[in-house]
A and B are shown apart, each in its own frame.
Chain A
């Protein structure tokens, strides 16, 4: 595995290029499903990152909104206008543009909470596996308790508490509470996975060798053990991104997620839900489709990555 030429990038890039090297890339090139999913995910990410440039309208610029354009159906339907490809919502906002901006917020919250839960989970998992004893027992008991509650419930609770404690919360604070709420339900999985792998790695010779030459425990954990337990973590993180995006959408749909001034996909679906019975299906269905597209493509990627990293399936 270490036969990559020394000319390649050092240290930090080493683990990454080794990870992409050979098997994984090969498996990716031979899985049409994975390539399709990656393409869709890349497109969604592109559209949301560059939302201000890609969107045909600015949905938050009140000056350009025209109430006479409200509730227009998509362009291909009879009353549709070519200016609004996917129609408009109740305030005359272009659905397509709102989609891009919404996906942006959804992805932002999803990625941030996965990153947070990954850092917490991997850290605690390493500590638990490496320290053993009482620390390990305590962390694992906490995990057991957390695992027995679904993450959506934990997120709802944290969000409810945050809402009650800071009733007039500033927007950024609301985002912070939301991200923490989502990640608190997710870290457990990382901790358990990493702990398991750490227990295996801890007794291997390279760790003992490092210990013998007097490397500090923290350094052994971070520089020696961590790179070797990252495989499953990456699979988990991929799947958790989809889960986090769905959790965010659910919370926003329930009206306890992102502040209404910066609508995510879930908020858009919530708004559209009120117009379901008057026949304006497009206000709900397009954000919903976008959400499913993102979640499905990320899940497919995660599935593929899990199989690609599992030696038993080769």
Chain B
């Protein structure tokens, strides 16, 4: 198991270095920092001086090493568009995105899991087919369209819920939360539902197909033959064994929730990292793009690592196998 963890850690480091390299290349080839700092009409001497001050005349590996060193400390320089430190910009918006993503994950799990079990147990019935058709709709509806429809119905027509921003937030030592005010909760409802729909449909379909697979196995038949209650067979035996892939996918999806939040945040003008990133892409604001990229990669790598470790905790078969023989 130790060898497995070490190998995974090494893999994670390689991924992070690759991403850092891509981010570094962004700085190298996209735009000239000297020109953007000094403007078009600086003299050659001024340029050379600045180039030297910034360390741009040093060899490539040295520059890359310095970039990684700075990145590890969360230092990505100044935003080209807003002229503020990128780390400060991101830190400001990080809580908004995290609260949105977590709320969406909770909705997706709390609704998707029971519906998936229902669709599997009542296979072929009308209710189950309705659920499946709706879930296909959920996969086919692009996130931004769901957001627009929700705004149209609940904000424009019914006037029930706000359609943009986070509402009132409370500052908890650098972490601004919208979860402590009624207004914040009201603002969270529509974006969280929007973000959760795709994941919800995914979890639902996954739980259903895993459940159907497990219900066919011998131990379920045997459990029935022992005369156990349906309830105990379904939830004690079947559901328990479907949870391994469900945990994996849900865990991995937590990363994509944060990435997909880009779209939801744009629709609802949610002041999160995604909104920041999309503005950076539109204006080719390289430092912000690079920082967001590295942060997202870090989140993904950590989530993947945690999911791998959870596997060991959940599935006893893996602990018996040879290290590396696992999935």
Assembly CA distance A300 to B132 (angstroms) = 12
Assembly CA distance A207 to B315 (angstroms) = 38
Q: Are A160 and B289 in contact (CB under 8 A)?
A: yes
Closest chain-B Cβ to A313's Cβ sits at a distance in Å of 11
Closest chain-B Cβ to A224's Cβ sits at a distance in Å of 31
Assembly CA distance A152 to B143 (angstroms) = 12
Q: 1/0 per residue A294-307: CB within 8 Å of B? A: 01100110010000
Q: Are B296 and A291 in contact (CB under 8 A)?
A: no
What is the chain B residue whose CB lies nearest that of A167? B284
Is B197's beta carbon under 8 Å from chain A? no
- Measured between beta carbons, the chain A residues less than 8 angstroms from B293 are 157
Interface size class of A (residues with CB under 8 A): 35 or more
Q: Are B259 and A153 in contact (CB under 8 A)?
A: yes
A299-B30 CB under 8 A given contacts A156-B281, A164-B284, A288-B145: no
Q: Are B156 and A279 in contact (CB under 8 A)?
A: yes
Q: 1/0 per residue B242-276: CB within 8 Å of A? A: 00000000001001100110110011000000000
Q: Are A250 and B263 in contact (CB under 8 A)?
A: yes
Assembly CA distance A150 to B253 (angstroms) = 9
Is B29's beta carbon under 8 Å from chain A? yes
A124-132, A198-206, A253-261: which lies at the interface: A253-261
Q: Are A165 and B29 in contact (CB under 8 A)?
A: yes
Closest chain-A Cβ to B256's Cβ sits at a distance in Å of 4
Q: 1/0 per residue A153-172: CB within 8 Å of B? A: 10011011101110100000
A256-B278 CB under 8 A given contacts A148-B300, A296-B136: yes
Assembly CA distance A281 to B157 (angstroms) = 11
Q: Are B137 and A291 in contact (CB under 8 A)?
A: no
Q: Are A299 and B140 in contact (CB under 8 A)?
A: yes
Q: Are A250 and B286 in contact (CB under 8 A)?
A: no
- Measured between beta carbons, the chain B residues less than 8 angstroms from A160 are 280-281, 284, 289
Q: Are B30 and A159 in contact (CB under 8 A)?
A: no
Q: Are B156 and A276 in contact (CB under 8 A)?
A: yes
- Measured between beta carbons, the chain B residues less than 8 angstroms from A148 are 15, 252, 255, 300-301, 304
Q: Are A295 and B300 in contact (CB under 8 A)?
A: no
- Measured between beta carbons, the chain B residues less than 8 angstroms from A277 are 156
Is A269's beta carbon under 8 Å from chain B? yes
Is A209's beta carbon under 8 Å from chain B? no
Q: Are B281 and A299 in contact (CB under 8 A)?
A: no
- Measured between beta carbons, the chain B residues less than 8 angstroms from A11 are none
Number of B residues near A (Cβ < 8 Å) is: 44
- Measured between beta carbons, the chain B residues less than 8 angstroms from A145 are 15, 18
Is A53's beta carbon under 8 Å from chain B? no
- Measured between beta carbons, the chain A residues less than 8 angstroms from B145 are 269, 288, 291-292
Residue of B144, B282, B293, B304 with most partner-chain A CB within 10 A:
B144
Is B148's beta carbon under 8 Å from chain A? yes
Q: Are B143 and A250 in contact (CB under 8 A)?
A: yes
What is the chain A residue whose CB lies nearest that of B253? A150
Interface residues in chain B, defined as those with a beta carbon under 8 Å from any beta carbon in chain A: 11, 15, 18, 26, 29-31, 136-137, 139-145, 148-149, 151-152, 156, 252, 255-256, 259-260, 262-263, 266-267, 277-278, 280-282, 284, 286, 289, 293, 296-297, 300-301, 304
Q: Please name the 9 residue pairs, one residue from A and one from B, whose CB atoms are nearest each other, closest first.
A: A164-B284, A160-B281, A164-B30, A296-B140, A295-B140, A150-B256, A153-B259, A288-B145, A246-B142
A-B contact pairs, 29 of them (CB 8 A): A144-B11, A148-B252, A148-B255, A149-B296, A153-B262, A156-B277, A163-B282, A164-B26, A164-B30, A165-B30, A242-B140, A246-B142, A249-B142, A253-B144, A253-B263, A253-B266, A254-B262, A256-B282, A276-B156, A281-B152, A284-B152, A288-B149, A291-B145, A292-B141, A292-B142, A295-B140, A296-B136, A299-B139, A299-B140
9 new A-B pairs (CB below 8 Å) besides A148-B304, A242-B140, A291-B145?
A150-B260, A153-B259, A156-B277, A156-B281, A160-B281, A277-B156, A292-B142, A292-B145, A295-B140
